[in-house]
A = this chain, B = another copy of it.
Amino acid sequence: MPQSAEKVLDHAPLFREPEYREMLAKKKALFEGMPADDVVQKTSDWTKSWEYREKNFAREALTVNPAKACQPLGAVFVAAGFEKTMSFVHGSQGCVAYYRSHLSRHFKEPCSAVSSSMTEDAAVFGGLNNMIDGLANTYALYAPKMIAVSTTCMAEVIGDDLQSFILNAKAKGSVPQDYDVPFAHTPAFVGSHVTGYDNMLKGIVEHFWKGQERTAGTAINIIPGFDGFAVGNNRELKRMLDLMEVEYTILSDVADQFDTPSDGEYRMYDGGTTIEAAKAALNAKATLSMQEYCTTKTLDYAAGFGQETASFHYPMGIGGTDDFLMKVAEVTGKEIPDALTKERGRLIDAMADSQAWLHGKTYAIYGDPDFVYAMARFILETGGEPKHCLATNGNKAWEAQMQALFESSPYGASCKAWGGKDLWHLRSLMATEPVDLLIGNSYGKYLERDLDTPLIRLTFPIFDRHHHHRFPLWGYQGGLRLLVTLLDKIFDKLDGETIEAGVTDYSYDLTR
């Protein structure tokens, strides 16, 4: 059978065929409301001026292209990291559809979560009945081992009390009395998905730990935080800890849930922290968090039981990984094995090999606060300048941490952190103070288009590339991948600029 009888075009090239081009141009030209091309161009140019930047930064009531999501997304994410756990979001049902598709598009895996489907009536009379029916249905339909309850903003505005609702539902027999239903209030109008992660995780450990007696042991807990690269990162984390022969519990491990195989078995749930492990985690010697802003409350809670705690900013690169491993060694008393020392040496070797290509490159970076910190730190390690660092969900404390980081390196002199700003602010920053490369997620592609700055996708969500999250960014191995990702983009760009035969290809070199 032939591949095709005649040329059948995908829609990207299809509408560039002459007949379509004409049609589209006509619409543009004829339609009265649409300004002429030169006006459009002029407006576009103006939006890239310093004048516009000032106007843009004067905004206070309007958010344009935000780079953050809401608390319940983080709650759904963290719950997915526990064994056979179903997320139950108390509130209207639409929100959950967003969380599911958001996670599913990024991880290319099905994602389960349900809501209590509150409607108008519930908004007036409270959502107790929805909770009662909802828990019962969830329990019956999806047979989870645990149901983790969080809230959408509607439930928060009307003031539903999860604790009493759940007690009520248990009393009504929705689920057995001793069934695990941890919960957390996660209003979307406070914080962001990283806050929701913290709240839900605290809700879960509180559920298991509250009122228990701690018998301090030697194992440690590690909390990965909200992380689009969790599949690769958590596995790399485990590999490193295994090499160190550390006893550990990962609190919320989504690696297997978001990377199920096609082997003929349908897994609604896969992997995750077991309930037994979550309970036993109380006795850990220490709890370490890979992302400070995902775990403020949870760590405080753990510290209240006498656990040692420490948090990192999404440790990447040499310094980031060093700090993390040192802390693990310090807390557990385990030596760092030669295998890791050798990996470290190899990463440094590779960075030194390639330093001339990275030195002095300038970057804009956006994403969650801990990621941006780590990325900027790695860029500084390569001799690059992370000029614009932006986190829509970053606060003043984060800005101060970033500033301290910048001050630790001569390459940080012209760098600035922007907390609470959105991607439209970033557009102005990049238009007025251009950089060589942009690091962010798929939403950055519009900045790539408008400002002709190559985008490197290194953080959640990534919708327009596949499977990147299956490789780690953490550890020295992850550092190598980071390094190669940056270099590939630099070389691709250089090749692209020098490929024109007879015009620029005097620099289209075989060796770089």
Contacts and interface: CB of A to CB of B under 8 A. Distances in A.
Contact of A442 (B108, B348, B510): B510
A26 to B, nearest CB: 15
A500 B342 CA distance: 46
A450 B491 CA distance: 18
Contacts of A445: 495, 508, 510
B449 A499 contact: yes
Nearest to A28: B502
A341 interface: yes
Contacts of A481: 471
Interface stretch (A47-55, A175-183, A460-468): A460-468
- A contact face: mostly helix, strand, loop, or mixed: helix
A501 B450 contact: yes
A505 interface: yes
B450 A465 contact: no
Contacts of A487: 465-467
Interface string A34-60: 000100100010000000000000000
Interface in A243-266: 259-263
Given A349-B260, A512-B463, A410 B1 contact: yes
Contacts of A335: none
A442 to B, nearest CB: 6
Interface string A472-506: 00000000110110011001101101110110111
Contacts of A512: 463-466
Scoring A3, A442, A483 by chain B CB atoms within 10 A of each residue's CB, the highest score goes to: A3
Contact of A463 (B448, B504, B511): B511
Contacts of A260: 345-346, 349
Given A3-B360, A3-B414, A346-B470, 14 more contacts: A12-B507, A260-B346, A260-B349, A262-B346, A262-B349, A263-B342, A263-B348, A354-B467, A445-B508, A465-B488, A465-B491, A466-B487, A467-B483, A470-B480
Interface of A: 1, 3, 11-13, 15-16, 37, 40, 44, 105, 108, 259-263, 341-346, 348-350, 352-354, 357, 360, 385, 410, 414, 442-443, 445, 448-450, 463-468, 470-471, 480-481, 483-484, 487-488, 491-492, 494-495, 497-499, 501-502, 504-512
